[in-house]
Amino acid sequence: MTGYERFLESESILDILFLDTVHHPRPPRLRGPDSACSNGDCRPIPPLDLSPLAMTAPIKIAHLWKVLRTLSRDVRDGFMEISRHSLALIGLVVVAILLTFMARPGLQMNVNDRLMSWLEMRQAGSLESPSPNDANYRATATSLKGLSKEQLAVTYWLSRRYRVSPEPLAALVTEAWSVGERSQIPPSLILAIMAIESKFNPFTAGTQGAMGLMQIDPTAHVAALAPFGGRLAVFDPLTNLRVGTRHLQDLILQSETMHEALRQYATSSGQSEEGLYVERVLNEQKLLEKLI
């Protein structure tokens, strides 16, 4: 009898595919009376001898593939879970910071002061060291070519109104736009306060010790003036503008309304009539807003 005939008489195909690692053959089947026997010898036909390694190879590959799929699925699910928890943690931290700032306005002012000081120091550090004979650097003036349309309109209007050369005003207008963007204060309000306080004269001195464009008291703002050179820096137009804007920002954060903040600013600069001062500043701001 051929090997193929012995294979058909042995185990079924499904039994062969799912054998265990250790082969346990079933008892051999006996031939029936109708089977053809040579010389009347109907001995049992032994099962087909298959190698255990060859039979278990497909099972091992299928098992390995299943393990890899499970591992990849677990890694993906773990990554998604970590990402979800990380985003939730970041959200909680942001909410906690906002609640802390709302509960403690003083902390918010300190953070704003430190941030503005850091930005100003970085801006100053990025500038090249000027030559001692460079008059262009020592002068607080700038070309009108780099101004935007709104800045140019404001510069010319202030120049005609207060009889100040456009180039120095252009430097102040540009700085008011830059500082206002960082402090979230309208540049028109900054310029309006300078107009009422000093009429854009950087050497103006008040009756109660306030000095410069925005009438800053150098004694009360020693710490703010220190990074810019100390007390005499109050006469530098750009330094006075920066320190005055920071002082205004602190008052806005402490006050419930803009009117109250301007009243406090009037008191600190030595203004005698606070109500009239607030009205003049707001009217000046409205005129400037029409140009923007």
The predicted pLDDT at position 58 comes to 67
The predicted pLDDT at position 52 comes to 53
Tell me if the pTM is above 0.75.
no
Those residues with Cβ within 8 angstroms of residue 28's Cβ, 6 or more apart along the chain or in another chain: 44, 45, 46, 47
- d(CA 139, CA 123) in angstroms, rounded, equals 18
- d(CA 17, CA 45) in angstroms, rounded, equals 21
The single-letter DSSP state of residue 25 is P
Looking at domain 114-126+139-289, its CATH class is mainly alpha
pLDDT above 70 covers a percentage of the chain that reads: 67
Rg (CA), the chain: 44
For residue 34, pLDDT beyond 80:
no
Q: pLDDT, tens digit, for every residue of 141-153? A: 888 888 999 999 9
Position 31 confidence tier, pLDDT thresholds 50, 70, 90: very low
Q: pLDDT, tens digit, for every residue of 207-230? A: 888 999 999 999 989 888 988 888
